[in-house]
Amino acid sequence: MTHDDCLFCKILAGDIPADIVFESETAIAFRDINPQAPTHVVIIPRQHIATINDIGVEDQPVVGSLFSAAREIAKKEGLSEEGYRVVMNCNAAAGQTVFHLHLHLLGGRGLGWPPG
Ligand code: 5GP
Ligand code: ZN
C-alpha cells in the first residue's frame, strides 16, 4: 500500500528523484539527502509501514530483507570489514522525521557510542 502524502512512497513511485543504490523485490535504498557520514544510505521497504510500532508478524520477512540489503550495500561500499552502523529511529523523541519505515546505514568514519 502506498500513501499519497508519504515522501518515501513518492521516491518509490519515481515522483521524487533519488540516488538509488540498491533494489530488490521487497526493498530499495538510496543515498540520504543530508548525509551524516561518508556513506549514508536509507533502506526502505516497498510496503508502506509507518514505524517500528506498526510492524506486524506477517511483515517479518520484509523487515528482515532490510538487513540483507544493508549487508549487501555495506559490502559494495567496502565497509564490511571496517564496520558500519544501522539505525532505525521510532517516533519523534528518537528523531524519526519520515513516517515510512527505514534503516539508516552509516559508515566511512568512526562512529561514537552512545549516539546522541
Ligand atoms: P529519520 O530522521 O526519519 O530517521 O530519517 C529520515 C532521513 O531521510 C533523514 O536522514 C533525511 O536526511 C532523509 N531525507 C529526507 N528527505 C529526503 C529526500 O527527499 N531525499 C533523500 N534522499 N533523503 C531524504
Ligand atoms: Zn510510504
pLDDT at 3: 83
48 noted as active-site residue:
no
Instruction: Please tell me the distance from the alpha carbon of residue 51 to that of residue 8, in angstroms, as a whole number.
Output: 13
> In whole angstroms, what is the distance from residue 94 CA to residue 75 CA?
27
24: which 3 cell numbers?
530488490
Sheet with 84-87, side-by-side order of all strands: 20-23, 27-31, 39-45, 103-107, 84-87
Is the CB of 17 inside a 6 Å radius of any atom of ligand 1?
A: no
In this prediction, the residues of the chain whose per-residue pLDDT falls under 70 are 1-2
- Which residue of 12, 52, 98, 102 sits with most ligand 1 atoms within 8 Å of its CB, as the best mutation to test the pocket? 98
| Per-residue pLDDT, 60 | 97
For the chain, which domains are there?
3-104 (3.30.428.10)
Q: Which residues pair with 44 in a beta bridge?
A: 28
Q: pLDDT tens, 11-38?
A: 999 999 999 999 999 999 999 999 999 9
For residue 116, the model assigns a pLDDT of: 84
| Res 1: pLDDT | 52
Regarding the beta carbon of 33 and ligand 1, being less than 6 Å apart is answered yes
Q: Ligand 1: which atom is nearest the Cα of residue 96?
A: 3
Q: Would you state the pLDDT for residue 12? A: 98
